[in-house]
Structure 1
Amino acid sequence: MRNFHFAGRSTVHARNAMVATSHPQASLAAIEVLQAGGTAADAAIAASALLAVIEPQSTGIGGDCFALYQPKGTGKIVAYNGSGRAPAAAKAEWFLEQGIDAIPLTSPHSVTIPGAIDAWATILRDHGRFGLDKLLQPAIKAAAEGYVVAPRIAFDWKHGFEKLKKGANTARYLLPHGEIAKTGDVITQPELAATLKLIADNGPDAFYKGAVAEDMVETLRKLGGLHTLEDFAEHSTETTSPLGTIYKGFDVWQCPPNGPGITMLVMLNILSRFDLTKFDPLSVERFHLEAEASRIAFMMREEHIGDPAHVDIDVVRILAREFGEEHCSKIALDKMLDLPHVAPPMNPSTVYITVVDEDRNVCSFINSIAHSFGSAIISDKTGILLQNRGAGFRVQPGHPNCIAPKKRPLHTIIPALATEGGRARMSFGVMGGQYQPVGQVHVLTNVLDYGMDIQEAIDLPRGLHYESVYQLEDGVPAATVEGLKALGHQVTSVGTPHGGAQGIWIDWDKGTLTGGSDPRKDGCALGY
């Protein structure tokens, strides 16, 4: 329980339904959909569409999404892979012939086919009561009439200023009067509003075929892209079953590759061999173990994970008890493991949404345009900011994540769900690029090992061992920082806090919902 003498957030409690997002307006829009009779799927997509307008550094209709959905919080969980593919002409040999050995973050080659719109329609087909015609209305209104820039969004806008100045059409669309958007500014995007209205009126075909697709392809090809109208028209969403592992008596679920949720599950399998409760949640030992587990899991991901349509992935072996035991036996509390240097190519932004409705349908949902402000390419006439998820590919033949025609890149975005006895207990996610599997483990172990409520678990200071440096938030105690240095960690403070999180805890006995939302973002949990 929080100490009310100090600044902080209370958990949000409700009996009927709950939503948590990174922006108050998106949370409110989702609540209004729920109160109008919508499902968790309807509410999540209404919120995501609105965030695609009002949080442009993190998400947009030019991006991708993944989702986990459990009807009535019991039984079979469905995983949705709404990630896009590389153009059919995107061969590794072509890039190497052009002298390109890594996909530049702001090149047209970083743009994979956006998967979000088709995924939204697919999820609504399976679990919604409303259609895109109704659910896109808050987003259309915000784009047409204007929205007020929130503080964290303004912070990111400031940091993205140079990128936006140099991008394709970004200054025209996202730098009003040639300046960054500041807290309290009102931004309108009439072209994006018109595009959203076309999709609302005509469904996903209005995005993947016809004038909107033609505008995106023309914009990209003028910049040297390999995209074609066929690449857009052939896009489809994949519906699968999730991957899972057991931690502290809970089943923890993730979308399968090309999502990196398996990284989080490997971390849990390693940490399950240790008793974290022996150590303070902000101790040297806890942070060291988390870092070592993440280093091992990221090494596994680098060596084995890619698009399963192109790469054989031995998921059973990777998630087997023996795999975790083999690696955790090497971890020592008094020194770092000697592991190969791993440098993942992506560390992007995103938005995460969680919704539980009155029927206890549970939706864990994430949408992203990859790096902050994506590729910094906006379609000429239709105002669509395009993702740069393709920069996550390797240009390295033989690598499981090497770029190839119609291949999906290894992602960073992962929605999560924890169940107990087959029933949903905690729907949660942590935004923030490569931090996401680490952040999910951090939040989940805060709850299950340290008994924190969902808000306390989200609030606790964080660290990310990334590219051989342990990047620690300001709230990590000085003694812990010095202790990590003594173990051999190269430690630095991080300028921007790690990610953002949302979560909902379901108490089936009391019939209540408890929500939390990250103070590192602008958002909130709301319920009724």
Structure 2
Amino acid sequence: MSNLSRSTRTRKPACRSAGGIVAAQSRRAAEIGAQILAEGGDAVDAATAVSFALGVVEPWMSGPAGGGAMMVFRADEGRAYAVDYGMRSPAGLDPRDFPLSGEGVASDLFAWKRVADDRNLEGASAVAVPGTVDGIGLAHGRWGRMSWADLVRPAASLAREGLSVDWYAALIIASSARALSRDADAAALFLEDGVFPPIGSWTALSDIRLPFHRMADTLEAIAAGGPREFHEGDVGRELARDVEAKGGSLRFEDLATYRAALQTPLSFAALGGRLHATPELTAGPTLRDTFAGFSAEAGGLAGLADALSAAYETRLSTMGDHESPKAPGSTSHFSVVDKHGNMVAMTQTLLSVFGSKIVSPSTGLLLNNGIMWFDPEQGRPNSLAGGKRCLMNVCPVLGERSDGARFALGASGGRKILPAVAQLSRMLLGGADLDTAFHAPRIDVSGGGTIIADEMLAEGDLAALRKRHEVRTAPRTVFPYAFACPSAVMREGSENSGATEIAAPWADAVAEAAGSA
């Protein structure tokens, strides 16, 4: 039984404004995005700045060397777009380099059979071809109004300042200190004496900063050279050279040939409104299946739990997604709305916390472990192979209600993402505002056989769930997360609002300054 208080109540009021709003997992990154909006930037401009800033202020979650997907709504066109920038396996990857160990299942996110030396989980052999920079570059090239350099340089300045290590950053670093110590470059960047997590005195404010000077240089190069600098320029060459030196299969040619894709969204009716999601190799199709199997009349929370369970069973059997529902994943999600009603819901990830647990010394970037997304057994729906796209759990979504209200929504949290997005979409389509929806107790139905329910749920809801499912209760806490970490923005008439997960200590929604351009 938990020792945590059961009388504590956490509230984080939604932000409201006639101007634009950024809702992100880091307030510092959200402030940078809000400043871009105040300077006259489009929602995509703000998203570009926030994407790079998040790679500095929470580098263990996402960054330039990761991947993901986004949804974009253009108010002037009245339509939605999907952008896919998921990772893929290097062309030269050989599945024979990932022999099964015969020692049970993997120790991280996925319940695959274990690979010898965890080569698909940690180290350079786990690094997939990243796509985040090309994805945000594609969106900026089509819809951005401000210069690319002016949007990337705020992140470079953050990196030059270094990361301030408060209690939350210290907790995250400590949780992966053993793995980080196995890579000399990661240990030098994140650990004291290459061994210990940086932890300040518990009785005073922390003045510890991690120096990210090499990362700052890399971001300056990307600012000056444009998004393809990461893939075709010196940054890409140095990153690929570092991965090869550490024993990985990623090569410069993999980076140079990578292209993000502009896609037609998966759009479907739901609860009298419509949802627009990413169409391929994400949780978008599973979200559609969830609402196809959910009856609002018969529904309630128990009905949604049934629909999520059925949708996940289909995903597990046909798409090869066998991620452990206990694992949180390493992901950043943020949502943006500008004063004109343009919206972005963007998710970016390294996959595991700290990704592959290695740092590229030439670029200062943490590298992803996207190879873990593949089943190391051959002959499966998602088996490991060279030059193959990864199956992701990301689920950025745009929604439109029958009364004209719109929202952009998504979350971090691995397989916990879909249940959170489905529940929040259900509430928002049903007429709830962001404040009500984000403070409502949630459940997690991730295909693991047991439903995790917020211990603040009403007894009637818990009883209904227990009639058909095994249920365990858990609090919404900072660490570990029993539920996903969502962020959303909404537009009702000419007023915008934004909200983030109430238990996330760094997350916040920030509005652009009043009277801005």
TM norm structure 2: 0.85
Residue 39 of structure 2 is aligned to residue 36 of structure 1: yes
Residue 510 of structure 2 is aligned to residue 526 of structure 1: yes
Paired amino acid for 2:52: A
CA contact (8 A) 2:21 2:338 kept: yes
**What are structure 2's unaligned runs of at least 5 residues?**
1-7, 103-112, 201-205, 513-517
State the distance in 2 between where 1:456 and 1:168 align: 46
Residue 361 of structure 2 is aligned to residue 376 of structure 1: no
TM-aligned CA deviation for residue 71 of structure 1: 1.2
Residue 229 of structure 2 is aligned to residue 206 of structure 1: yes
1:115 corresponds to which residue? Answer: 131
- After superposition, the Cα gap between the structure-2 partners of 1:270 and 1:481, relative to the gap in structure 1 and judged at 3 Å, is same
- After superposition, the Cα gap between the structure-2 partners of 1:150 and 1:34, relative to the gap in structure 1 and judged at 3 Å, is farther
Q: Select which of 498, 514, 518 maps to 2:497.
A: 514
Q: Which stretch shows the higher mean deviation, 417-426 or 153-162?
A: 417-426
Residue 313 of structure 2 is aligned to residue 299 of structure 1: yes
CA contact (8 A) 2:271 2:296 kept: no
Residues 334-382 of structure 1 show CA distances to partners (whole Å, capped at 9, x for unaligned) of xxxxxxx985797512111111112221111111111111110111221
TM-aligned CA deviation for residue 10 of structure 1: 2.1
1:244 corresponds to which residue? Answer: 267
Q: Select which of 47, 64, 67 maps to 1:64.
A: 67
Identity %: 24
State the distance in 1 between where 2:146 and 2:68 align: 19
CA contact (8 A) 1:468 1:490 kept: no
State the distance in 2 between where 1:251 and 1:213 align: 40
**What are structure 1's unaligned runs of at least 5 residues?**
280-285, 308-340
Paired amino acid for 1:34: L
1:197 corresponds to which residue? Answer: 220
2:490 corresponds to which residue? Answer: 505
Residue 432 of structure 2 is aligned to residue 452 of structure 1: yes
Residue 54 of structure 2 is aligned to residue 51 of structure 1: yes
What aligned pairs does 1:384-423 form with structure 2 within 5 A after superposition? 384-420=365-401
SS in 1 for 2:372: helix
SS in 2 for 1:51: helix
CA contact (8 A) 1:111 1:386 kept: yes
State the distance in 1 between where 2:418 and 2:222 align: 33
TM norm structure 1: 0.83
TM-aligned CA deviation for residue 201 of structure 1: 0.9
2:515 corresponds to which residue? Answer: none
CA contact (8 A) 2:157 2:216 kept: yes
SS in 1 for 2:470: coil
Q: Select which of 22, 26, 29 maps to 1:23.
A: 26
TM-aligned CA deviation for residue 74 of structure 1: 5.0
Residue 157 of structure 2 is aligned to residue 141 of structure 1: yes
State the distance in 1 between where 2:138 and 2:278 align: 16
Let me know the Cα RMSD of the aligned residues.
2.8
TM-aligned CA deviation for residue 262 of structure 1: 1.1
Residue 314 of structure 2 is aligned to residue 270 of structure 1: no
State the distance in 1 between where 2:306 and 2:168 align: 31
- After superposition, the Cα gap between the structure-2 partners of 1:377 and 1:24, relative to the gap in structure 1 and judged at 3 Å, is same
Residues 30-89 of structure 1 show CA distances to partners (whole Å, capped at 9, x for unaligned) of 111011111000101101111100111211111113111111165221110011211112
Q: Select which of 78, 81, 84 maps to 1:78.
A: 81
Residue 190 of structure 2 is aligned to residue 174 of structure 1: yes
Residues 433-488 of structure 1 show CA distances to partners (whole Å, capped at 9, x for unaligned) of 11111110111223334x43212212223332343333344434577667655645
State the distance in 2 between where 1:40 and 1:133 align: 16
State the distance in 1 between where 2:163 and 2:349 align: 20
- After superposition, the Cα gap between the structure-2 partners of 1:361 and 1:479, relative to the gap in structure 1 and judged at 3 Å, is closer
CA contact (8 A) 2:337 2:490 kept: no
1:13 corresponds to which residue? Answer: 16
Paired amino acid for 1:212: V
Residues 241-266 of structure 1 show CA distances to partners (whole Å, capped at 9, x for unaligned) of 11022111111111111222111121
Q: Which stretch shows the higher mean deviation, 246-255 or 400-409?
A: 400-409
Paired amino acid for 1:44: A
State the distance in 1 between where 2:405 and 2:382 align: 32
TM-aligned CA deviation for residue 11 of structure 1: 2.1
SS in 2 for 1:70: strand
SS in 1 for 2:75: helix
- After superposition, the Cα gap between the structure-2 partners of 1:343 and 1:173, relative to the gap in structure 1 and judged at 3 Å, is closer
Q: Which stretch shows the higher mean deviation, 60-69 or 267-276?
A: 267-276
- After superposition, the Cα gap between the structure-2 partners of 1:221 and 1:22, relative to the gap in structure 1 and judged at 3 Å, is same
**Aligned residue pair count:** 479
State the distance in 1 between where 2:295 and 2:262 align: 30
Residues 112-158 of structure 1 show CA distances to partners (whole Å, capped at 9, x for unaligned) of 11101111211110010123311111111111122323554443223
Paired amino acid for 1:403: L
State the distance in 1 between where 2:481 and 2:101 align: 35
Paired amino acid for 1:500: C
1:441 corresponds to which residue? Answer: 422
Residues 11-41 of structure 1 show CA distances to partners (whole Å, capped at 9, x for unaligned) of 2111121211111111111111011111000
State the distance in 1 between where 2:168 and 2:254 align: 35
SS in 1 for 2:314: helix
Residues 398-455 of structure 1 show CA distances to partners (whole Å, capped at 9, x for unaligned) of 3222222211110011211002469661111122111111110111223334x43212
SS in 1 for 2:181: helix
State the distance in 2 between where 1:158 and 1:94 align: 31
Paired amino acid for 1:80: V
2:443 corresponds to which residue? Answer: 463
- After superposition, the Cα gap between the structure-2 partners of 1:471 and 1:222, relative to the gap in structure 1 and judged at 3 Å, is farther
